Amino acid sequence: MHENKPPLVTNPRDPRFLALLNLQTSQCRSRTNLYLIEGIRHLARAVEERAPVESVFYDPSVLSNHFGRKLVRRLIASRVPTVRLATHLYRDLTLAAEPQGIGAVLRQQFVSFSTVRPIADSLYLAVEAIDSPGNLGTIIRTAEAAGISGIFLLGLSDDPFHPAAVRASMGSLFSQKLVRCSPQEFTAWSRAHGVTTIASSPSGLLDYRALSAEEPALSGRAKRWSRMGPAAILIGSEKRGLSPDLIESADFTVRISMRGHCDSLNVAVAAGVLLFEMAS
Amino acid sequence: MHENKPPLVTNPRDPRFLALLNLQTSQCRSRTNLYLIEGIRHLARAVEERAPVESVFYDPSVLSNHFGRKLVRRLIASRVPTVRLATHLYRDLTLAAEPQGIGAVLRQQFVSFSTVRPIADSLYLAVEAIDSPGNLGTIIRTAEAAGISGIFLLGLSDDPFHPAAVRASMGSLFSQKLVRCSPQEFTAWSRAHGVTTIASSPSGLLDYRALSAEEPALSGRAKRWSRMGPAAILIGSEKRGLSPDLIESADFTVRISMRGHCDSLNVAVAAGVLLFEMAS
């Protein structure tokens, strides 16, 4: 990395460093529509998925991985603004126990709910006010693995670009269709497009398997939803669940029946159980 | 809480405080066979499940909850040693963002693998070297909800009594049968008792649903496993998966097929998807 090497930032009051540090706050993220990602895997996936990389930062004394260094050279070559950071500054930007010394600033991308047009077998996920950003990121990762067509964020506090959410999403953020809208807009959208809405609640009337039970006459699981058309699974906050209005307006409410003394599952585990039962 | 009030500990070098603080290290936990729990919910479940509570600690200036104060009085009355801690000391013992001001020291409980005798429909879980204690705790919580008969811990590093594991288990730790043994002992045990072992691996030959597919002739999901007798699901580390020996010795290897660019799920989510598919 000898060519075009940017100057090394060592001063914690340097505006280039402060601009990065401020992106850890939700206020700065919503004002700028930017967010931070970190680590070689995340950056490589962002580039692969053509996510809008605004700038790159790296710690030259830590970034020893060959692939990581090549990635930086490639981004510098394509004129992405780059900041070299001293180790003590880089440390302040990372959640990783063993940082790889590379990260980037990306532009947040949402799609408008009015442009989402479901087809017959589409399955969507809607989340409302997930308390833990780590859980939200894990849900986004799980949704991608289950083949979900898009994720609706119905709570004002749901921030998929929080550093802990970004980290837990393991790069799934860059390929997922994210929609931010109000519960009322979501309900109107689902009715307009004939999307069956399935709310998850401990007091759900149906066991979650009831809706996905296979009929012997159908030749495969892929046909499950063809009877029902597109569908959306709704999941609420860890502590409070879904708001009464969303439960009320849903076509079905389902519960995950539990044994032992458990009265709940971790919200990301519950999302995984529901999504993998219904998606496939 | 006027009667029998223990003296307030304010000095960070007080041996009663240091004894608690040391239990945050794995060395001290394995030397003493003790561990810390925290919060009203956890302590109430420990008492309900008759877990061996060795001592209680609380911060009188934070513990305002009526039920929590009643719990302390009840434990003092039953002669459980109690320590009152100043707020700055209590803070050092807690992982909670908003601590409730009550915790306890419990004795670790394992059962010997030789005493575990499966019956026809028993389903067990075996985990090997889960990296994140939070994931391990979430897996224990999920296993209880799925009605698992016992959890085998096959890696030396698997510590269900790590503070982050205890916290994520949400009290499921107290009612779960935990077995610590080597992979070789587990394999010998499963063979001796006719327990079908199912290893989870991204390179698994079967889709995880293949083993639990319902036959129309069977009248309900409860009969699924009756063909196969008792079974155990094996799950390995987040980064490395199961060790080759365990995969080699398993009766089946299953994979969770994924869409998108995902090559893995969070390990606790994967455990949830497998356990809820196979347990019910």
CATH code at A8-107: 3.30.1330.30
Across the interface, do B266 and A141 touch by the CB < 8 Å criterion? yes
Q: Which residues of B touch A267 (CB under 8 A)?
A: none
pLDDT score, position A223: 42
The matching CATH number, chosen from 3.40.1280.10, 3.60.10.10, 3.90.1580.10, 3.30.420.10, for A113-279 is: 3.40.1280.10
Q: Which residues of B touch A279 (CB under 8 A)?
A: 259
pLDDT score, position B218: 42
pLDDT score, position A77: 92
Closest CA to B126 of B221, B213, B237, B209: B237
Across the interface, do A171 and B45 touch by the CB < 8 Å criterion? no
Higher-pLDDT residue of A97 and B42 is B42
Q: Which residues of B touch A133 (CB under 8 A)?
A: none
Residue showing tokens 């080699």: B248
pLDDT score, position B4: 63
Confidence of residue B222 (pLDDT cuts 50, 70, 90): very low
User: Which of A169, A269, A280 would best serve as a mutation to test chain B binding (most B beta carbons within 10 A)?
Assistant: A269
Across the interface, do A266 and B142 touch by the CB < 8 Å criterion? yes
Across the interface, do A145 and B259 touch by the CB < 8 Å criterion? yes
Across the interface, do B256 and A145 touch by the CB < 8 Å criterion? yes
The proportion of chain B whose per-residue pLDDT surpasses 90, expressed as a percent, equals 81
Measured CB to CB, residues of chain A less than 8 Å from chain B are 45, 48-49, 138, 141-142, 144-147, 168, 170-172, 175, 209, 214, 216, 221, 256-262, 264-266, 268-273, 276-277, 279-280
Q: Is the predicted pLDDT of residue B216 greater than 70, yes or no?
A: no
DSSP chain B: --TTPPPEE--TT-HHHHHHHHTTSHHHHHHHTEEEEESHHHHHHHHHTT--EEEEEE-TTT---HHHHHHHHHHHHTT--EEEE-HHHHHTT---SS--SEEEEEE---B-GGG----TT-EEEEE---S-HHHHHHHHHHHHHTT-SEEEE-STT--TTSHHHHHHHTTGGGTS-EEE--HHHHHHHHHHTT-EEEEE-TT-SEETTGGGPPPTTS-SGGGGGGGT-SEEEEE-BTTTBS-HHHHHHSSEEEE----TT-----HHHHHHHHHHHHH-
Confidence of residue B7 (pLDDT cuts 50, 70, 90): confident
Q: Assess: ipTM above 0.85.
A: yes
Across the interface, do A265 and B141 touch by the CB < 8 Å criterion? yes
DSSP A91-156: HTT---SS--SEEEEEE---B-GGG----TT-EEEEE---S-HHHHHHHHHHHHHTT-SEEEE-ST
Nearest to A262 among B145, B268, B273 (CB): B145
Q: Which residues of A touch B266 (CB under 8 A)?
A: 138, 141-142, 168, 268, 272
Report in angstroms the alpha-carbon separations of B45 from A104, A280, B41, B172.
Answer: 45, 37, 6, 8
User: Which of B266, B274, B277, B280 would best serve as a mutation to test chain A binding (most A beta carbons within 10 A)?
Assistant: B266
Q: What is the pLDDT of residues B226-265, one digit of tens each?
A: 456 899 999 999 999 999 999 999 999 999 999 877 788 9
Nearest to A272 among B168, B170, B273 (CB): B273
Nearest to A261 among B146, B175, B268 (CB): B175
pLDDT mean across residues, chain B:
90
What chain B residue is nearest to A258 in terms of C-alpha separation? B145
Q: What is the pLDDT of residues B158-215, one digit of tens each?
A: 999 999 999 999 999 998 999 999 999 999 999 999 999 999 999 999 999 887 755 4
Closest CA to B150 of B222, B233, B254, B47: B233
The dihedrals phi and psi of B224, each to the nearest 5 degrees, come to: -45, -50
Contact present, B109 and B178 (Cβ < 8 Å)? yes
Kindly report the CA angle at A221 between A215 and A223, in degrees rounded to 5?
A: 75
pLDDT score, position A217: 42
Measured CB to CB, residues of chain B less than 8 Å from chain A are 45, 48-49, 138, 141-142, 144-147, 168, 170-172, 175, 209, 214, 216, 221, 256-262, 264-266, 268-273, 276-277, 279-280
**Quick check: do B8-107 and B113-279 share a fold?**
no
Nearest to B147 among A168, A216, A260 (CB): A260
pLDDT score, position A214: 53
Q: Given the DSSP bridges, would you call strands B252-255 and B196-200 parallel, antiparallel or unpaired?
A: parallel
**Would you list the domain boundaries of chain B?**
8-107, 113-279
Nearest to B172 among A144, A209, A260 (CB): A260
Across the interface, do A256 and B145 touch by the CB < 8 Å criterion? yes
Across the interface, do A257 and B280 touch by the CB < 8 Å criterion? yes
Q: Is the predicted pLDDT of residue B6 greater than 90, yes or no?
A: no
The proportion of chain B whose per-residue pLDDT surpasses 70, expressed as a percent, equals 92
Alpha-carbon gap: B266 to the closest alpha carbon of chain A (Å): 7
Rg (CA), chain B: 21
pLDDT score, position A198: 96
pLDDT score, position B119: 87
Sort B117 into a burial class: Cβ within 10 Å, 0-12 / 13-18 / 19+: exposed
- Report d(CA A157, CA A211) in Å as an integer: 30
| Ranges under pLDDT 50 in chain A | 215-226
